[in-house]
Amino acid sequence: MVTPVIEEQTSRTTEEELAKQARRKELISRWFWRIMGYVVFLGLWEFASGRVLEENLLPGPIRVFQTLGDLWADGTVLPAFGATLTRLFIGFGLSFLVGTIVGVISQNRWWDGFFKDATIISLTAPGLIWVLITAVIFGNRIYGPLIAIILTTFGLVTINVYEGVRSLPKDLIDMGKAFHVPNAGIQRNVVLPHLAPFLFTGLRFGFSIAWKVTVLTEIFASSSGIGFQMRIAQTLFKQDEVLTWILLFFFFALFLEKVVLQAFERRYFRWRQAVEAA
C-alpha cells in the first residue's frame, strides 16, 4: 500500500528536477548568446580601429577603456555624472508631476480640450526643438534643460495617467464600498495598484527620453555634465574621450534598466509573474 505513494512522490521530485534543469539550461543559453553578442561587437570594433578607419577617428575598445580609467582616476567622471543626474532628476521629477496632474484633471472634458493639443505636441515634437529654443532663451542657466525635459516628456506621462484613471476598476471600488472600506484604504489597495503599471510605463519611457534630452541640452548650452564633456572632447578632437562618455552613458542606461527598474518591477508586479507562471 505504501509503494504507490512513494512512487508518486519520486515522480513529482523528478518532474521538478527536470523543470529546474530545463530552466538552468535556458538561462545558460541566454547568457551565452548575450556574451557572444558583446564579444563579436567588441572584436569587430577592435579590428576596425586602425584597419578600416584610422585609430584617431575610431579608437578601439582597449584604448577607450584605458581612457575611461584615466578619466575616472583624475576625478572627471563623477562630477560630470552628478551634474547631469541632478538636472535629469529635477527635470523629470517636475515633468512627472506635471504629467500626472494633467492626466488626472483631463478626465474633465474641458481640461481635456485645454491640454489635448499640448499633449500631442509634447509627444510628437522632437526633443531637439525644445533643446535649441531653451538654449537660445536661457543660455547656460538651469531652467533651459528643465523646461526642455518637461516639454518633451510630460505628454508621455499624461497619456499613461489619463488611460489609467479612465480605466479605474469601478467594480473593485464598489466592492470596497460595499464592505465599508475607508476611502484611504480603497486608494491604497485598489486605485494605486491599478495605476502602478501606467505610472511605471510613463516613468520608464519618459525617463529614457529625459536622459537623452538632458545630455543634448548640455551639448548645446552648459558648462558641466556629460554632454558638456562630450562637446569639449569633440572640439579638441579627442575621439577616445567622446567614445568613453558614450560608453559610460551606456553603462548607466544598462544599470537603470537591469537593476533599478527590474527590481521595481519585481517588487510591485510580483502578482503578474506568479499568474504568468501558473
Partner 1 sequence: MADIKVEHLHKEFGLGDDKVVALEDVNLEISGHVFVSIVGPSGCGKSTLLNIMSQIETPTSGIVSITQDNREALRGYVFQAARLLPWRTVMDNLLFVQDDPGDAATQERCQRYLDMVQLGDKTEKFPGELSGGMQQRVGIARAFSVEPDVLFMDEPFSHLDAITARTLRAELHEMWKATGKTIVFVTHDVGEAVELSNRIVVFSKGGTLEDDITIDLPFPRDPADEKVAVNKAAVLKKFEELDLVAT
Out of 29, 187, 189, 262, the only residue in the binding site for partner 1 (CB under 8 A) is 189
d(C-alpha 194, C-alpha 172), whole Å: 10
For the CB of residue 198, give the shortest distance to partner 1 in the complex, in Å: 13
CB 77 within 8 A of CB 254: no
- Using CB under 8 A as the binding rule, the residues of this chain from 191 to 220 that contact partner 1 are 193
Cell numbers representing residue 252 in the block: 548607466
Nearer to partner 1 (CB atom), residue 172 or residue 209: 172
- Determine which residue in the list 46, 89, 176, 205 makes contact with partner 1, applying CB under 8 A: 176
Site for partner 1 in 143-172 (CB under 8 A): 171-172
How far is it, in rounded angstroms, from Cα 196 to Cα 161?
A: 9
Asked if 74 touches partner 1 (CB under 8 A), the answer is: no
Q: Which is nearer to partner 1, 117 or 171 (CB)?
A: 171
Q: Does 278 bind partner 1 (CB under 8 A)?
A: yes
Mention every residue, 6+ apart, whose C-beta is less than 8 A from residue 123. Answer: 155, 156, 159
**265 in contact with partner 1 (CB under 8 A):** no
Q: Which stretch binds partner 1 (CB under 8 A): 23-31, 60-68, 82-90, 179-187?
A: 179-187
Residue 164, Cβ neighbours under 10 Å: how many?
Answer: 21
When asked if residue 174 is in the footprint of partner 1 (CB under 8 A), the reply is: yes
12 is a contact residue toward partner 1 (CB under 8 A): no
With 0-12 / 13-18 / 19 or more C-beta atoms within 10 angstroms meaning exposed / middle / buried, residue 238 is middle
Task: Count Cβ atoms within 10 A of the Cβ of residue 181 and give its class: 0-12 exposed, 13-18 middle, 19 or more buried.
Answer: middle
Positions in the binding site for partner 1 (CB under 8 A): 171-172, 174-179, 181, 185, 189-190, 193, 271, 274-275, 278
